[in-house]
Amino acid sequence: MPDFTPTPADKFTFGLWTVGNTGRDPFGEATRPVLKAPYLVERLAALGAYGVNLHDNDLVPIDATAAQRDALVREFQQALSDHGLVVPMATTNLFSDPAFKDGAFTSADARVRAYALSKTMHAMDLGAELGASTYVLWGGREGTEVDAGGKLLDALGWFRDSLNYLAEYSESQGYGYRFALEPKPNEPRADIFLPTVGSALGFIATLDRPELFGLNPEFAHETMAGLSFPHAVAQAIDAGKLFHIDLNDQKMGRFDQDLRFGAENPKGAFFLVKLLEESGYAGPKHFDAHALRTEDEAGVWAFARGCMRTYLILRDKVQRFAQDAEIQAALAAYRVRDAELEALTGTFTPANAGALKAHAFDRAALGTRGPGLEALDQLTMELLLGVR
């Protein structure tokens, strides 16, 4: 029986803001004290994590002086090198400060849009200094409660202009970032622009350098939109755009919960792990979640350990699924092959099209055949429930 202990080779990462979450919510104060970044690094390394990600202000307060910034960065870098953790991803906090209350890149105020660009370029400098190669853009405040301002089309244009500008900045500085857009349907705004993976994929195609932009899909965000996370991730993979991933869990139809990975929907988590492992995704697996507000610091580390263990347990189940003869036989029966017809549908030629149009299909037989999905799904459940 494997012991499911993570190692850096598993490439698990956490945000400073995740294990550093103090439990504050819109109705209640913090329930846990602030933990300093170097301490978080030390504890994550001890648990077997690979890296740590950050927003600029997770490490450097928004009003820090240059000297304070440099001291905090040095202390953080020392902890990273002492404990062998890397910073694969960085991002900008464009949502906490009241200046961004009506958007950052999509604010109707040109001064706010300019400040958002400036703040992001400084944060990109910080990320590059720490070695980050992925730059996440979550547009938390990019949205509206009311559309009386009439900025829907303008906002998309401002957003596009800002992303184009930041890509040029990255290239001109030699940072070589790959930008990962993180869609979310709502919270903290009533309606956030580019609300789903599909919306972001469509938008990327309109950018000047689409090759530099991809996705950072999050389990909770697609679930909040009532969508299937594995389906969204499959589309990102198919488009060659899965640049990063935020793993957590979420009850559908609720506020943004950021639950421990697999806590709510282990079956969805299984199909997600299967997709990541079998598609060859090689990037970090980032847990963007936090311990329940009820928990003390011991609960925080139980949460972090739990996220990684659940991933490893599901990865083991994926291997068992691939080795299970009965499951593989059911899968083979489900995927019906037909050499003659596949030859005709593989490539369009006038001759193939003509032969296909002339082919006599047994429509009744096609409609009558049962594909065996009930049995296959039950086998999957029994594997997940630990009885096979």
Q: How far is the CB of 218 from ligand XLS (least distance, A)?
A: 5
Is 231 marked active-site? no
Q: Which is nearer to ligand XLS, 97 or 256 (CB)?
A: 256
Q: Which is nearer to ligand XLS, 91 or 120 (CB)?
A: 91
Is 288 a binding residue for ligand XLS by CB under 6 A? The answer is yes
Is 56 a binding residue for ligand XLS by CB under 6 A? The answer is no
Is 55 marked active-site? yes
Is 274 a binding residue for ligand XLS by CB under 6 A? The answer is no
Q: Which is nearer to ligand XLS, 188 or 210 (CB)?
A: 188
Burial class (CB in 10 A: 0-12, 13-18, 19+), 262: buried
Q: Which is nearer to ligand XLS, 226 or 354 (CB)?
A: 226
Is 218 a binding residue for Mg ion by CB under 5 A? The answer is yes
CA distance 301 to 287: 13
Is 290 a binding residue for ligand XLS by CB under 6 A? The answer is no
C-beta contacts of 159-165 below 8 A and 24+ residues apart: 159/105, 159/106, 159/193, 159/194, 159/203, 160/203, 160/206, 160/207, 162/105, 162/113, 162/116, 162/117, 162/120, 163/105, 163/137, 163/207, 163/213, 164/207, 164/208, 164/209, 165/117
Do β-strands 143-144 and 191-192 pair in parallel, antiparallel, or remain unpaired?
antiparallel
Is 222 a binding residue for ligand XLS by CB under 6 A? The answer is no
CA distance 241 to 348: 28
CA distance 186 to 143: 8
CA distance 339 to 192: 47
> Which one of residues 56, 142, 246, 324 is an interface residue with ligand XLS (CB under 6 A)?
246
> Which one of residues 10, 97, 129, 256 is an interface residue with ligand XLS (CB under 6 A)?
256
Q: Within 174-203, which residues bind ligand XLS (CB under 6 A)?
A: 182, 184
Bridge partner list, 249 = 259
Using Cβ positions, the residue closest to ligand XLS within the complex turns out to be 138
Binding positions for ligand XLS, rule: CB under 6 A: 55, 91, 136, 138, 182, 184, 218, 246, 256, 288
Catalytically active residues are 55, 58
Binding positions for Mg ion, rule: CB under 5 A: 218, 246, 288
